[in-house]
Structure 1
């Protein structure tokens, strides 16, 4: 790979932006297509599909075979709240390949002993989230503290960053109050409607572990939306 192309690719990776290296197998010629440039590319349809699925592969063209090497940022899960549900959710999420971080300013809960294999940041979300490289559409956010002073400070930037999944713990009555607060903070009703609340698929979950299963299932369902069976 040409060094300038590799440098450009690394820059996209560092910025957590998707990109595809297009290689003409007959000639070895390569070019980098950034996600923002796909719409104007001759292979726009195929490139968009590859970005959506995250799968590399070879396609046939009249001029010969072309290999599409897809580079998509790893999916990360930011959990707001070092609670019992989080203790079950974190290891399960790691098991399916998510990059998990716990954020909670309450130092009595946010300890390495309670989350031995997961990064824990004992700071307020507005201070902690920028240190994670920001939020983006490859990020899932789960707010589990049930404390608006903490959760709201994570929901605001997550919705503005268009995270692919945003969920929040709480009853419908609690969420109705949350909607009013977020609207008062300047978010549109359309943006607020993206919050999954009450969080998790409705599977009748009762225990913290069961609630964690329902949350993780909902995250996967959103991540793989295009692959889900039609009802």
Structure 2
């Protein structure tokens, strides 16, 4: 690989931006396609599919066989609320490869005993998120406390960062009030419309572990099937 290509690839990695190195099998010619360039590339369909799956591989093109080396940031899941749903969701999400963090200022809930082996931040979301790597398009945020003082700041930050998944617990009536608050906070209807609420796939979930399953399934679907949004 040419030094310039390696430098550019490392810059994308450091910035948590996806990129694909396209290598001609015959001749070895290489080019780098950043995520925000993929939609306009001659191999756009294949590149976009590879970005969603995160898998490298060989593809046959009119110009001959090309090997696509996919570099995708590790996906993150930030759970707002150290609640029963989070207790079930955190280990399942880690098992499918998500980097999980739990945030909750309520120290009675945010304890290592309830969340063993999970990064736990007992701070208000504004303060907690300021100490983490910036939210981005490879981050999912699930607001699960039912408390607007805790959930709303995290939702605002997630929507402004264009996180690939933003979900919030609560009934439709609860969400209608949430929409009013977020509108007053200056978010557009299009941004607010990205919130998955009620959270989780509709599988008839009743118990906290069942709701956790429905949320994880919705997060994975958004990661693997959802369109990749170009940077603003």
Q: So what's the TM-score if we normalise by structure 2?
A: 0.89
- CA RMSD, 1 decimal: 1.9
1:185 matched to 2:185? yes
Task: Give 5+ residue unaligned stretches, structure 2.
Answer: 227-232
3-state SS of 1:153 partner: helix
Structure 2 partner of 1:76: 76
Structure 2 partner of 1:29: 29
Highest RCO, 1 vs 2 (Cα 8 Å, sep ≥ 6):
2
Measured at CA, do residues 170 and 39 of structure 1 come closer, stay the same or move farther in structure 2, by a change above 3 Å? closer
Structure 1 partner of 2:95: 95
CA contact under 8 A between 2:52 and 2:224: conserved in structure 1?
no
Distance 1:187 1:61 in 2: 43
Measured at CA, do residues 215 and 42 of structure 1 come closer, stay the same or move farther in structure 2, by a change above 3 Å? closer
Measured at CA, do residues 197 and 60 of structure 1 come closer, stay the same or move farther in structure 2, by a change above 3 Å? closer
Structure 2 partner of 1:224: 224
Per-residue displacement from partner, 1:103-143 (whole Å, max 9, x unpaired)? Answer: 11112222222211111111111122233311122111110
User: Deviating runs (4+, > 4 A) in structure 1?
Assistant: none
Measured at CA, do residues 40 and 203 of structure 1 come closer, stay the same or move farther in structure 2, by a change above 3 Å? closer
Per-residue displacement from partner, 1:61-112 (whole Å, max 9, x unpaired)? Answer: 4543221101111211100001111111100111111111101111222222
Measured at CA, do residues 61 and 103 of structure 1 come closer, stay the same or move farther in structure 2, by a change above 3 Å? same
Q: CA deviation at 1:47?
A: 2.4
Distance 1:105 1:51 in 2: 35
Measured at CA, do residues 144 and 39 of structure 1 come closer, stay the same or move farther in structure 2, by a change above 3 Å? closer
Distance 1:91 1:141 in 2: 16
Distance 1:202 1:60 in 2: 39
Structure 2 partner of 1:131: 131
Distance 1:4 1:163 in 2: 30
Structure 2 partner of 1:55: 55
Measured at CA, do residues 29 and 224 of structure 1 come closer, stay the same or move farther in structure 2, by a change above 3 Å? closer
When the two structures are aligned, how many residues end up with a matched partner? 227
Measured at CA, do residues 62 and 196 of structure 1 come closer, stay the same or move farther in structure 2, by a change above 3 Å? closer
Q: So what's the TM-score if we normalise by structure 1?
A: 0.90
Structure 2 partner of 1:149: 149
